Amino acid sequence: MTAVLPKVDRGREQEPRPRPPRRYRWTRLDTKVSPYLFVAPFFVLFGAIGLFPLLYTAYVSLFDWEVGADDPAFIGLDNYRTLFEDDQFWNALFNTFSIFLLSSAPQIVVAVLIAALLNENLRARTGWRMGVLLPYVASLVALTIIFGNLFGPQYGLVNDVLTALGFGPVDWQASTFGSHVAIASMVNWRWTGYNALIVLAAMQAIPREVHEAALVDGAGPLRRFFSITLPMLKPTLIFVIVTSTIGGLQIFTEPKLFEPSGGSGGGAEHQYQTVVLYLYQSAFQGLDLGYASSIAWVLFLIVIAVAGLNFWITRRAVK
């Protein structure tokens, strides 16, 4: 037997699902499609001016492609082979890393210290905070030209001061290490304050209760800095370190304008030629687009690898 369930009267008659009125259909389409439409401009633009050049560069790097050549010859991976045997490239890579280390490492340490100072109760706090950002506001080119003058080997102010202090003058153009210090100082001058402000913002987001609890437990300022502030800054530090890695490995303007005669060689013996500068020289002085493209791709991979490595290290080191 089957029990027949009585039909429950729900108070209204069964009727076929109504066709939604026209204007609702539009609304449904709207809610489905328009989010994509709203984000589309970014992806269309990114495809046109981000992704396409990236892929096209990879394509060009497989050719012996001189600017103005009628039909470039396909040479497979030959550009890469030449590149890995090219002393000038390895030299440029060394310079890039050397300048990167000389700039990023002290820069982040100093930025955290400045942020810690700015986090204290200072008079005219906003003034100080804006003050550290000033170098970032100044034009990069103007800054580089001024630093180039300061570090002039013969008539530069830095050498005058060094001589007055009893040290011998340094030939900032001829010495490899000297030129790297000069360029790193430009980078540090510009970016330390900017990074300090980012770190400061993160510091202020650290809840006071944690500090107060530690204080009650008898932790001194140093202990609190290392056991509370630094670990809680981790996400911000990762961001700062990854962006400065990307920027540092792509450094171009500073070494380009540091060359007194305006060339792209990065010094008479490429003492401070960075990878991007070598790329620029290959493309626009050597007019060898294929080779320059292969440099660009190798650099791209290196940047990704180093940024990933830094990400990993920062995550482990600052617990």
Partner 1 sequence: MRQRWVSVLICAAVSAAATTACGSGGASQTQDGKTELTIATFNEFGYEELFKEYEAAHPDIKITQRKTGQGQPHHQNLFTKLGAGSGLADIEGVEEGYLSQVMSKSGQFNDLKEIGPQIEGDRWLKWKTEAITTKDGKLIGYGTDIGPLAMCYRKDLFQQAGLPSDPEGVKALFATWDSYFAAGDQFIAKVPGVAWFDSAAQVFNAMHNQHEVGYYDKSDKLVVDTNPAIKADWTAVTAAVAKGQSARLAAFSNEWNTGFKLGKFATKTCPSWMLGVVETQAGPENKGKWAVTDAFPNGGGNWGGSYLTVPKQSKNAKKAAELAAWLTAPEQQIKAFKAKGTFPSQVKALDAPELLEQTNAYFGDVKAGALFATQAKKVKAAQYKGPADGQIQETVFSPALQSVEQGKNADEAWKTAVEGAQKAAK
* CB 198, CB 239: distance < 8 Å: yes
Name which position in 79, 96, 173, 195 contacts partner 1 (CB under 8 A).
173
Asked if 269 touches partner 1 (CB under 8 A), the answer is: yes
Binding mask 52-91 for partner 1 (x = CB under 8 A): --------------xxxx----------------------
- Please tell me whether residue 64 adopts helix, strand or coil conformation: strand
Rounded least distance, CB 152 to partner 1, Å: 5
Query: Using CA atoms, how far apart are residues 79 and 291, in angstroms rounded to an integer?
Result: 6
Residues with Cβ within 8 Å of 294's Cβ and at least 6 positions away in sequence, in order, are 61, 79, 80, 83
Q: Which of 179, 195, 304 is nearest to 254 (CA)?
A: 179
Cα dihedral 304, 310, 311, 313 sign:
positive
Name which position in 261, 301, 316, 319 contacts partner 1 (CB under 8 A).
261
Among the listed ranges 7-15, 25-33, 128-136, 260-268, the one in contact with partner 1 (CB under 8 A) is 260-268
Residue with smaller CB distance to partner 1, 75 or 214: 75
Query: Using CA atoms, how far apart are residues 296 and 281, in angstroms rounded to an integer?
Result: 12
Query: Using CA atoms, how far apart are residues 30 and 83, in angstroms rounded to an integer?
Result: 52
Among the listed ranges 190-198, 209-217, 230-238, 255-263, the one in contact with partner 1 (CB under 8 A) is 255-263
Residue with smaller CB distance to partner 1, 69 or 219: 69
Rounded least distance, CB 154 to partner 1, Å: 5
Residue 281, classified by CB atoms within 10 Å of its CB into exposed (0-12), middle (13-18) or buried (19+), is buried
Query: Using CA atoms, how far apart are residues 53 and 47, in angstroms rounded to an integer?
Result: 9
Among the listed ranges 110-118, 131-139, 258-266, 302-310, the one in contact with partner 1 (CB under 8 A) is 258-266
Query: Using CA atoms, how far apart are residues 275 and 95, in angstroms rounded to an integer?
Result: 8
Rounded least distance, CB 33 to partner 1, Å: 17
Residue with smaller CB distance to partner 1, 133 or 145: 145
Asked if 27 touches partner 1 (CB under 8 A), the answer is: no
Residue with smaller CB distance to partner 1, 30 or 212: 30
- Please tell me whether residue 251 adopts helix, strand or coil conformation: coil
Binding mask 185-214 for partner 1 (x = CB under 8 A): ------------------------------
Residue with smaller CB distance to partner 1, 88 or 119: 88
Residue with smaller CB distance to partner 1, 69 or 246: 69
Name which position in 39, 48, 161, 268 contacts partner 1 (CB under 8 A).
268
C-alpha 178: how far from chain center: 24
Q: How distant, in Å, are the alpha carbons of 110, 128, 176, 198 from that of 124?
A: 21, 7, 42, 19
Rounded least distance, CB 88 to partner 1, Å: 8
Residues with Cβ within 8 Å of 211's Cβ and at least 6 positions away in sequence, in order, are 224, 228
* Binding positions for partner 1, rule: CB under 8 A: 66-69, 145, 148-149, 152-156, 171, 173-174, 260-265, 267-269, 281, 284-287
